[in-house]
Amino acid sequence: MSDLFTELEFHQVRKAAEHTAGDAFLVHKNTESNRLLAVLSDGLGSGVKANILAHMTANMAIRFAEAYTDFVHYARVIMNALPVCQVRKIAYATFTVLDCNPDGSVQIVELGNPPFILLRNGKATEVPFREFCSEQEDSRKLRVSRFKAQPEDRIIFFSDGVTEAGMGSTAYPLGWRNRGCAEFSEEQVQRDQRMSARDLARAVVNGALRREPDRTAYDDITCGVLYFRTPRKTLLASGPPFSEKKDPEFAEQIRSFDGTTIISGGTSAEIAAREFGRELQTDLFRYRRSPLPPISELDGVDLVTEGILTLTEVLNILEGKEKYTGDHAARLLSEHLLNSDIIHFLVGTRINQAHQDPNLPVELEIRRSLMRRIATVLEERYLKEVTLEFI
């Protein structure tokens, strides 16, 4: 499993008319051991109270899972510690804990949430499990599954907002249920065998929402997906090298890179075009209504954009502070980064005097600082493997 990458993403829609979600999704990756932990907790009810319950449970679960090898014992402690609603006779919060080790061994512990789905070879596959009963003489059971992941496996786990979508309607009197979600996920993967975890999680949530009357979320809808795959690599080159003597080396790194190649910056693209002996063409019609500069085309490079303005908006998108709506170069660049697993930044250090003008907007940061910030967000928020090289 050492040559596989684990892509973990989730998507969520909160209950209609609520300002906060009653589901919590937490992730922790140990950079030393490469162990990946994720918790999805569903608080009883909705809104602020459910949000607090879910986050308390998720934080407790992820701390126990991180600190102790025998998490099953501590999961039972959590189960028995969670009070039970006297009216509905269910726990105040449910949880699914996913524990993945670099050797591909996976342990999934579930309490109250719908059972996870393992897609193997594009089909839902049954996984053996053990059950542990609550010590409080109620009907709660802890479900524990262990297995060895294989290449192209996808683990799909969700709150009951997915399985109960459409409940009471003519088409889905009992809700979408696990089987409906599994069949839908199979169809999505068969249609796009390279579908990312991010896209599949979004598709499942949107699929559940479409089954609700008037497409209104009557509960919080959350789905997480863990995808085991060969890593997808991207090179993002921005800025001319410090010395013009480095131009051939700069271009050769782009030319020989085994993966997606992106150039962000007009001067950088001109250097590559000159060294490649190819023509750089600007596409004035694609995204012509965009507030950002247009994209360009260069044979041998997957995407060519303008530099600082576009990269600044990329950072806004990654941080959830997007300023511009619609399709534009920054959104396209962000999609490439988010669909990648290993990202190498090749950063030129030649000073562009235009960006030292104090009259320019504050957000026009110098390139090195901006690229470091993008790298940090990709590592910490999206769990990407990122390297920076200054040239």
If one counts every other C-beta atom within 10 angstroms of the C-beta of residue 314, the result is: 25
pLDDT of residue 87: 57
* Alpha-helix runs per DSSP H in the chain: 47-67, 71-81, 160-163, 177-191, 197-210, 247-256, 266-276, 308-318, 329-338, 367-380
pLDDT of residue 136: 65
Average pLDDT, the chain: 87
Quick one: average pLDDT of 332-338?
A: 93
Among 151-165, 293-307, 343-357, 359-373, which is the least confidently predicted range?
A: 359-373
The tokens describing 11, both together, are 């998507």
Exposed (0-12), middle (13-18) or buried (19+): which is 272, by Cβ within 10 Å? buried
Give, in order, the Cα–Cα distances in Å from 25 to each of 8, 83, 194, 196: 11, 21, 24, 18
| Residue 262 and residue 302 in contact, taking contact as beta carbons nearer than 8 Å | yes
CA triplet 115, 202, 27: central angle to 5 degrees? 65
pLDDT tens column, 10-45: 999 999 888 899 999 999 988 778 889 999 999 887
Whole-number Å distance between alpha carbons of 45 and 208: 19
Q: pTM for the full model?
A: 0.81
pLDDT of residue 222: 95
Name residue 228's amino acid: F
Quick one: average pLDDT of 126-152?
A: 85
Whole-number Å distance between alpha carbons of 64 and 254: 44
| % of residues, the chain, pLDDT over 90 | 55
Extents of the domains making up the chain: 5-229, 233-390
CA triplet 116, 121, 125: central angle to 5 degrees? 35
pLDDT at 263 over 60: yes
pLDDT at 368 over 90: no
CATH H-level superfamily of 5-229: PPM-type phosphatase domain (3.60.40.10)
| % of residues, the chain, pLDDT over 70 | 91
Quick one: average pLDDT of 125-151?
A: 85
pLDDT classification of 361: cutoffs 50, 70, 90: very low
pLDDT tens column, 220-245: 999 999 999 888 999 999 988 988 89
pLDDT of residue 185: 97
pLDDT of residue 83: 67
pLDDT classification of 90: cutoffs 50, 70, 90: low
Q: How far is CA 186 from the centre of its chain?
A: 20
Exposed (0-12), middle (13-18) or buried (19+): which is 264, by Cβ within 10 Å? buried
pLDDT classification of 360: cutoffs 50, 70, 90: very low
Give kind and range of the element (H or E) at residue 260. strand 260-264
Q: What share of the chain is helix, strand, coil (3-state, %, to 5)?
A: 35, 25, 40
pLDDT at 75 over 60: yes
The tokens describing 220, both together, are 């919080």
pLDDT at 358 over 60: no
pLDDT at 141 over 80: yes
pLDDT of residue 364: 39
pLDDT at 123 over 60: yes
pLDDT tens column, 273-299: 999 999 999 877 777 777 888 899 999
pLDDT classification of 363: cutoffs 50, 70, 90: very low
Query: Cα-atom radius of gyration of the chain, to the nearest Å?
Result: 24
Nearest to 239 by CA among 311, 319, 338: 311
pLDDT at 269 over 80: yes
Quick one: average pLDDT of 78-101?
A: 76
Bridge partners, 157 (sequence order): 224
* DSSP state string for 107-156: EEEEESSPPPEEEETTEEE---EEEEE-TTSSS-EEEEEEEE--TT-EEE
pLDDT of residue 86: 59
Quick one: average pLDDT of 257-282?
A: 93
pLDDT at 300 over 60: yes
